Chains A and B, each alone.
Chain A
Amino acid sequence: MLKIETWKLAVVGILCALGFAFAAPNLLSSEAVDGLPGFLPKSQISLGLDLQGGSHLLLEVEVGVVVKERLESLVDSIRTELRKERIIYGGLGATDSAVSVTIKDPAEAQKAYDTIRQLEVGYASDLADDGVITLTLTEQSLKERRVAAVEQSIEIVRRRIDPQGIKEPTIIRQGDDRILLQVPGEDDPEKLKKLLGQTAKLTFHLLDEKGSLADAMAGRVPPGSMLVPSIDEFDNRGAARMYLLKKRVSVSGDTLVSASLGFDQSSRPAVNFRLDAVGGKKFADITRANIGKPFAIVLDGKVISAPTIQGIIPGGSGQITSGTFTTESARELSLLLSAGALPAPLTVLEERSVGPGLGQDSVDAGKVASMVGLALVVVFMAIYYGRFGVYANVALLMNMVLIVAMLSAFGATLTLPGIAGIVLTIGMAVDANVLVFERIREELRTGRGVLSAVDQGYKLALSTIMDANITTLIAAVLLFAFGSGPVQGFAVTLAVGIISSMFTAIWVTRILISTWLRRTRPATLTI
Chain B
Amino acid sequence: MRIKLLPENPNYAFLSKRMIFYVFSSLLVASSIAMFSIKGLSYGIDFTGGIMIEVKMSEPDQIGSMRSTLSQLGLGAVELQEFGTSDDIMIRLQAQDGGEAANQAAVNAVKKALGDGVEYRRTELVGPKVSDELFLNGIYAVVSAIMAILIYIWFRFEWQFGLSAVVALAHDVISTIGVFSLIQHEFNLTTVAAVLTIAGYSINDTVVVFDRVRENLRKYKTMPMEQLLNQSVNETLSRTTMTSFTTLLALVALYYFGGEIIRDFAFAMIWGILIGTYSSICVAVPMLLHMSVERRSGEDDQQAQEQQS
Chain A residues packing against B (C-beta within 8 Å): 50, 58, 60, 187-190, 193, 347-355, 357-358, 361-362, 365-366, 368-370, 372-374, 376-377, 380-381, 383-384, 386, 416-417, 419-420, 423-424, 426-428, 430-431, 434-435, 438, 441-442, 445, 463-464, 467-476, 478-479, 481-484, 486-487, 490-491, 494
Q: Which residue of B lies closest to A358 (CB)?
A: B121
* Contact of A438 with B245 in the complex, beta carbons under 8 Å: no
A376 and B148 CA atoms in complex are apart in Å by 34
The distance from the CB of B262 to the nearest CB of chain A, in whole angstroms, is 5
Q: Which residue of A lies closest to B199 (CB)?
A: A475
* Contact of B197 with A424 in the complex, beta carbons under 8 Å: yes
The distance from the CB of A156 to the nearest CB of chain B, in whole angstroms, is 20
Known: A471-B149, A475-B145. A427 touches B123 (CB 8 A): no
Name the A residues within 8 Å of B256 (CB-CB): 369, 372
A423 and B197 CA atoms in complex are apart in Å by 13
Name the A residues within 8 Å of B101 (CB-CB): 347
A353 and B257 CA atoms in complex are apart in Å by 23
* Contact of B190 with A350 in the complex, beta carbons under 8 Å: no
A190 and B192 CA atoms in complex are apart in Å by 30
Name the A residues within 8 Å of B152 (CB-CB): 470-471, 474
Chain B interface, number of residues (Cβ within 8 angstroms): 77
Known: A354-B121, A355-B119. A423 touches B2 (CB 8 A): no
Known: A419-B258, A424-B247. A464 touches B207 (CB 8 A): yes
* Contact of A487 with B258 in the complex, beta carbons under 8 Å: no
Chain B residues packing against A (C-beta within 8 Å): 1-5, 9, 54, 56, 100-101, 104, 107-108, 119-127, 129-130, 134, 137-138, 140-141, 144-145, 148-149, 152-153, 156, 189-190, 192-193, 196-197, 199-201, 203-205, 207-208, 211-212, 235-236, 238-239, 242-243, 245-254, 256-259, 261-262, 265-266, 269
* Contact of B247 with A428 in the complex, beta carbons under 8 Å: yes
Name the A residues within 8 Å of B258 (CB-CB): 365-366, 368-369, 419-420, 423
A102 and B262 CA atoms in complex are apart in Å by 64
Query: 23 A-B Cβ contacts within 8 A?
Result: A189-B123, A347-B127, A348-B125, A357-B119, A366-B259, A366-B262, A368-B258, A372-B256, A373-B249, A377-B246, A377-B250, A384-B2, A416-B262, A420-B258, A423-B258, A427-B251, A430-B243, A435-B208, A475-B199, A481-B141, A483-B189, A491-B193, A494-B197
Known: A384-B242, A427-B248, A471-B149. A484 touches B259 (CB 8 A): no
Q: Which residue of B lies closest to A434 (CB)?
A: B242
* Contact of A362 with B259 in the complex, beta carbons under 8 Å: yes
The distance from the CB of A460 to the nearest CB of chain B, in whole angstroms, is 8
Known: A431-B243, A434-B239. A377 touches B125 (CB 8 A): no
The distance from the CB of A42 to the nearest CB of chain B, in whole angstroms, is 30
* Contact of B189 with A471 in the complex, beta carbons under 8 Å: no
Name the A residues within 8 Å of B130 (CB-CB): 58, 349-350
Name the A residues within 8 Å of B123 (CB-CB): 189, 351-353
* Contact of B54 with A417 in the complex, beta carbons under 8 Å: no
Known: A380-B249, A416-B261. A482 touches B137 (CB 8 A): yes
The distance from the CB of A355 to the nearest CB of chain B, in whole angstroms, is 5
The distance from the CB of B240 to the nearest CB of chain A, in whole angstroms, is 9
Q: Is the interface of A mostly helix, strand, loop or mixed?
A: helix
Q: Which residue of A lies closest to B3 (CB)?
A: A383
* Contact of A430 with B246 in the complex, beta carbons under 8 Å: yes
A475 and B194 CA atoms in complex are apart in Å by 10
Q: Which residue of A lies closest to B111 (CB)?
A: A190
A373 and B248 CA atoms in complex are apart in Å by 9
Name the A residues within 8 Å of B235 (CB-CB): 442
Q: Which residue of A lies closest to B129 (CB)?
A: A349
The distance from the CB of A194 to the nearest CB of chain B, in whole angstroms, is 11
> 4 other contacts beyond A187-B120, A354-B122, A369-B256, with CB at 8 A cut-off?
A373-B253, A383-B1, A420-B266, A484-B137
Name the A residues within 8 Å of B138 (CB-CB): 482
Q: Which residue of A lies closest to B140 (CB)?
A: A482
* Contact of A193 with B104 in the complex, beta carbons under 8 Å: yes
The distance from the CB of B25 to the nearest CB of chain A, in whole angstroms, is 21
Name the B residues within 8 Å of A189 (CB-CB): 123
Looking at the complex, which one of B125, B196, B254, B261 makes contact with A478 (CB distance below 8 Å)?
A: B196
* Contact of A468 with B2 in the complex, beta carbons under 8 Å: no
The distance from the CB of A486 to the nearest CB of chain B, in whole angstroms, is 7
* Contact of A347 with B156 in the complex, beta carbons under 8 Å: no
Name the A residues within 8 Å of B145 (CB-CB): 474-475, 478-479
Name the A residues within 8 Å of B236 (CB-CB): 438
* Contact of A472 with B144 in the complex, beta carbons under 8 Å: no
The distance from the CB of B84 to the nearest CB of chain A, in whole angstroms, is 10
Name the A residues within 8 Å of B257 (CB-CB): 365, 368-369, 372
A420 and B199 CA atoms in complex are apart in Å by 17
A361 and B56 CA atoms in complex are apart in Å by 13
Name the B residues within 8 Å of A366 (CB-CB): 258-259, 262
* Contact of A383 with B2 in the complex, beta carbons under 8 Å: yes
A365 and B256 CA atoms in complex are apart in Å by 9
A107 and B186 CA atoms in complex are apart in Å by 70
- Give the one of B122, B236, B250, B253 with max A CB within 10 A: B250
The distance from the CB of B163 to the nearest CB of chain A, in whole angstroms, is 16
The distance from the CB of A175 to the nearest CB of chain B, in whole angstroms, is 9
A188 and B120 CA atoms in complex are apart in Å by 9
Name the A residues within 8 Å of B212 (CB-CB): 464
